[in-house]
Amino acid sequence: MSNSKPLRTVRSFVRREGRLTPGQQRAIDTLWPKFAINDGDNLLDLNLLFGRNNPKVLEIGFGNGASLAQMAENQAEDDFLGVEVHRPGVGQLLNLIDQQGLSNCRVACTDAVELLKHRIADNSLDRVQLYFPDPWHKKRHHKRRIIQPAFVTLLTKKIKSGGQLHMATDWQHYAEQMLDDLSNNPLFTNSSNDGTYIDRPDYRPLTKFEQRGHLLGHGVWDLLFQRR
């Protein structure tokens, strides 16, 4: 009998659960059936999920959900699916969806990579958003960054031709890696005029985290690529 063990999948996140506030727990208990997606392995019918055939936007790692809720409110013609592994943020977004009466936003509390691989149909997404992912700034941890060539290849299958991948980070080294990994994939085209970064689009809200960074002199790099 072989004693070899299967290779461990390197994840881009660590579950730091944190404590749910009573309001967040109540949102998960009461709003989950209406606005959240249960775990499973069946392919999602996004048009059925939202009840219409409108552009579909997937955001990976929405944090506390404030930015995503604002985008869903401002872009009522688009449907947003947010993926986050930390339940306090999920509870917070569920509350915002309910308070703002958003019919175009749904939530999944799971590993975004596994969701993309097994539950999102090919050529079904109009835009993927990845804002301020964990930079894993130590060199030995760079392998944990979600943007890697293999993940970029996965996105080429899920994003429609003409669709977009929009990323933002406040770590310059990660921005440079993102730029390299996307530029080296022949199925993505940089939307920047000079082949590097873009100004923050109006549709991406300026977060409190980002505002604090500006006050401290930190840079932010936005990257926008189009699927050929």
Q: What are the beta bridge partners of residue 108? A: 37, 83
Buried b (16+ CB within 10 A) or exposed e, 152-179: beebbbbbeeebbbbbbbbbeebbebbb
> Which class for 57: exposed (0-12), middle (13-18), buried (19 or more C-beta within 10 A)?
buried
Three-state SS for 20? Answer: coil
| Secondary element (H or E) of residue 165 | strand 159-169
Residue tagged active-site, from 134, 181, 194, 199: 134
User: What is the rounded CA–CA span in Å between residue 131 and residue 178?
Assistant: 12
Task: Report the Cα 216 to chain-centroid distance in Å.
Answer: 26
Please list, in sequence order, all residues whose beta carbon lies within 8 angstroms of the beta carbon of residue 111, skipping any fewer than 6 positions away: 11, 13, 85
d(C-alpha 209, C-alpha 226), whole Å: 27
Look up 134 and say whether it is catalytic. yes
Positions annotated as catalytic residues are 134
